[in-house]
Structures are given as C-alpha cells and as structure tokens.
Amino acid sequence: MALYGQVLGHGFVALDDTLYVTACAEVREGLTWKGFLWAWGNFDAGNYHPLTWLSYMADVTVFGIEPGWMAFENVLIHGVNGWLVWRVLEALGCSRAGALMGAMAFVVHPLNVESVAWISQRKTVLAAAFGLAALLVYLTRVRRNEYPVNWQVVAFFAASLLAKPWFVVLPVLMLVLDVTCFGRLDGGAGPRGLQGIRVLATRMLPLLWEKVLLGVALIGAVAVALLSQKSVGAVMGLQQASALLRLENAAVSVVSYMADFFVPNALSVFYPLPTDYAGARVAGSALLLLLLTGVAWVGRQRFPEVTSGIVWFGLFLLPVIGLVQVGGQARADRYMYLPMIGLIWIAVRVGERALVRGGVGVRQALVVIAVVWLGLGGVVAQRQVMYWKNSFLLSVHSMKAVGPVPLLVSLLGGAYLEGGDSGLALPLFESLARRKNPDLGHVVAYARALHGVGRLREAIDVCRQVVKHDAGNYYAHAYLSVWLLEAGEAVQAAEHDEKMREIGPSHGQVPFGAEPGTAK
C-alpha cells in the first residue's frame, strides 16, 4: 500500500487510456447488455480481450469514470498476483521463506510499475491472475499425483486468454516442468536411434494428450490475436522492420531485459525501435544468449530449476519479443511482468542452495544483498509510480531516458494542450507536423495548438489539408465544423458537421482524448 497507494490520486494518461476508457462510449456507460455483447464481438484497440473490457465497465458502474480507483483495482489484482507467485514458487520446490522473498521481489520490482500503475494495462495483470491460477492448480494436482488438467485449469487458462492472449505458452511450460522438475517422463534409459525416438514419443503421448484442450484454446487465441492486431495495422510488415532487424532487436532486448531486472535504470514508457544496431552489441548479446542456452542444457539434470527458470523467462518473452513486430517499440517494461518470474525462481533456488552449502559469512552476505536489493527496488518503484500520475510527468521522465522521440513529444504536447498551454504545445506539434509523412493525429493536434493561440485561419487550413489526405478523419471534420462556424462560414461548417456525423468517431482517431468543443 505504501508503494502503490499514491495511484488513488492519479489521472488518466494520454496513451491508450482514451482508447480503453475515456473515449470508449461502451465503457463509459458501465455494465449494460449492449456493452456486454460489444465486448465479446470486437477487436477495438487491436486486441481481443472481452474480460478486460468487462472489467472496465464494472469499474465505471461501481466508481464512475474515476482514474484513481481504476488504477487501484490494478494494484489489488497485482497483490493477488504476488500471492499467486508465492504459492507457485512453493509448488515449484522453493521454501516458504524463499518463495515469500521471491513474491516480494515480484510485487515491488520497478519494471512492474508500468503494468500496475497504467490503467490501460489491466489486461496484463488480469491475464496474469487467471494464468497463474491455472498453473497453480496444475502444479498442485501434479504434486498430489492427480490427473493434472481438470476443469479448473481449463477455465482459468481460457479466462486468461480472454483477458490478454499472453499465456498461450502455458501448455509448453507445463510440459517442460513435467520433464525437468517432476520427472513425469522418466522411464529409465531407452534404446538409441529410431527405436529410442519411438519410445520417447510413446512416453510423451500421455503428457500431450492431457493438454489437448489447452492446445485447442492456444491455437484459437493465437489466430485471434494476429487477426486483431492486423485489423488495426499494428503488425509491421517486412518493409517496415526487416527480419534481420527483428532478430537483432530480439537478441539485444533479451539482454536489456535481464540487465533491467537486476539493475532497473533509465526506465521509459517507450523504447524506440532503431533502424539498426551496432554489430558488436548484437554479437555480444547473441553470445550471452548462447551461453545461457548452454547452461540450461548442461545443467538440466543437476540444476533443473535453473533450466526451467531460463525456459520460463524465454517462453513468456517469445510472444512479445518482436519476431512478429507489433508497434514501433523495441521492448517494453510491461513485457517483463511474466518473464521475470522465471528469473526470480532461479535467484531464489540458487540463493537457497548457497545458504545450505555456504558458511556463515556467505549466508550473511546473501541476506544483506537480498534485503538491500529489495529495499532499493522499492524506492525506485515508488518514484516510478509517481511518474504515472499524469502525461506530463510520464513524458518528461521518459524523454530523459530515451530522448525526444515523436511518441513522447506528442504525449508532452498533448499534456500541454489539455492543461490549456497551447503556446507550449505549438512548437512541439509543429515539429511533428513538419516531419516527412507525419502522423495525421499529430497534424490535427498542431491545428488545435494553432487555434489555442488565436491563429484560427491557420488552424482551419491545416485541418483542410488533413481531410485532403484522409477524407474519413473524424476529428479533422469535427474541428472544422466548429472553427468554420467561429470564422463565420456557416455553410461549410454544416458540411463538415454532416460529414463528421456520417463517419462517426473511432478508437483510432482520438487526439489526446479531447472533444472538438473543448479544444484549447
């Protein structure tokens, strides 16, 4: 509570919160039958996650459109996830005290702040809650020698996919744990060659068959996820990000994730995807990953938890590492919410082994290191939560880490616009509008800033240029309908008003959550 209680005083941020809450009519109405049906039948925001939509609607029904309480619900779910991590680590062989330390690391880690303090990441914490619950039931039943995949496992797994299809790797993780941690494939040394492969397949078949329902759900979730991302153009083609660049970024990002796990520093809401990487950096990252792969393989018998933890880390990164590039980011803090559990598991088990085998000095040193690391992590996380109070703080902090990239410049400009500081927003959006092939949302925001400083005619001209390039731009027509009337051109204003109503607003055309009548 001391760490995340401050979110009760937070507002919305102009990154996806408009899409999910403030500009979504169905969510703003709360829980309704119409909204319920809508949640199950749309791909808005580039995702299929009906349970996430319904959770937002429930928030509005209970609290109204109140960002502090919406963020605090994320905090509560994160707390539940911390408890689930504790139980899962225990089920994976960690001591009660070690599992508790691991859960504490998960709860306070600065990398997780983005998933918790950002209202739009409800899907991440909610999917994690259901997915971890499915895994916990599975592990509990395996340890009791019961048939592991019962209706609870299937139901929790399906619910996780309906909140966010990130736990698609769960059946594979279960299979890995079956082999490395629980010895469910053991049957003594088998024959070599083709006969050995047949024997192995025979032993594997029951493990695969028990997960068949999970596999069906997995295939459906992957197909729906790709369709939903492509429906809004979020999946980059090879002309935007080459296969080589994606592989390079994947290697570098994995190493960056590990570095940020141990020493979280210069965190940002957005890390831009570069056009290329230095060869030495890519080679070094690739060598380190090969080394980790070798460690996982060589130590699979003697240190199965290390092998399994590395596999956990890699599996949960796989859907979000950028091999199928979604958006223009190189990586994201929120993508570590689940992978870090694998690293925590490794740290706990290695620490426990060292405590048992080491002397008094080693034990004292490990305790001090753990306490200091958790304490410093909590301090950094508390400060990181503060930056999520509003778009201004978030954009300024993030630009200190990655520089004035367009997304962050637009976020800062939008914060100035919503605060009535059009003069400060104007140069920011002018720089974005004058870029080659500018984002039309930035151009519309530039027009808003021009209008805000009293340059009405220029604002009108800019919006007219927008509708020439995109005749279906709802907000360009909307602003023109207001500003032309202000300029005394009632007939043309009426034409744009009619066009605006014909088009209707969409989730993809909301500039910083502002309606035309409130433009500043």
pLDDT digits (tens, 9 = 90+) for 372-417: 999 999 999 999 999 999 999 999 999 999 999 999 999 999 999 9
More confident: 304 or 383: 383
Banded model confidence at residue 519, pLDDT cuts 50, 70, 90: very low
Banded model confidence at residue 517, pLDDT cuts 50, 70, 90: very low
* pLDDT in the model for residue 52: 97
Q: CA 310, CA 465: separation in Å to the nearest integer?
A: 52
* pLDDT in the model for residue 321: 87
> Average pLDDT of 187-212?
65
Residues sharing a CB contact under 8 Å with residue 375, sequence separation 6 or more, in sequence order: none
- What whole-number percentage of the chain has pLDDT above 70? 89
Q: CA 82, CA 221: separation in Å to the nearest integer?
A: 25
Lowest mean pLDDT among 254-258, 321-325, 415-419: 321-325
pLDDT in tens, 267-291: 999 999 888 888 899 999 999 999 9
Q: Where are the domains of the chain?
A: 5-387, 404-518
Q: Residue 518: is its pLDDT beyond 50? A: no
Residue with tokens 């709860």: 107
Q: Residue 245: is its pLDDT beyond 50? A: yes
Q: How many CB atoms lie within 10 A of CB 457?
A: 11
Banded model confidence at residue 303, pLDDT cuts 50, 70, 90: confident
* pLDDT in the model for residue 326: 57
Banded model confidence at residue 114, pLDDT cuts 50, 70, 90: very high
Measured CA distances, 47 to 20, 130, 228, 405, 481 (Å): 11, 18, 5, 25, 32
Lowest mean pLDDT among 8-22, 282-296, 358-372: 358-372
Residue 437 in tokens: 């092939």
pLDDT in tens, 459-514: 999 999 999 999 999 999 999 999 999 999 999 999 999 999 888 765 444 444 34
Lowest mean pLDDT among 58-72, 187-201, 251-265: 187-201
Q: Residue 317: is its pLDDT beyond 60? A: yes
The average confidence (pLDDT) of the chain is 88
- For residues 468 and 490, the answer to whether their CB atoms sit within 8 Å is no
Q: CA 506, CA 304: separation in Å to the nearest integer?
A: 50
* pLDDT in the model for residue 338: 98
Q: Residue 194: is its pLDDT beyond 80? A: no
- For residues 107 and 76, the answer to whether their CB atoms sit within 8 Å is no
Give exposure, 163-200, as e/b (b: 16+ Cβ within 10 Å). bbbbbbbbbbbbbbbbbbbbebeeeeeeeeeeeeeebe
Q: Which homologous superfamily does the CATH classification assign to the domain defined by 404-518?
A: Tetratricopeptide repeat domain (1.25.40.10)
Count each helix (H run) and each strand (E run) in the chain, helices first: 24, 2
Strand, helix or coil at 372? helix
Strand, helix or coil at 205? helix
Burial (CB count <10 Å: 0-12, 13-18, 19+), residue 22: middle
Single-letter residue type at 285: S
More confident: 240 or 26: 26
> Average pLDDT of 234-251?
72
* pLDDT in the model for residue 477: 94
State whether the Cα torsion 208-209-211-212 is positive or negative.
positive
Q: Residue 354: is its pLDDT beyond 70? A: yes
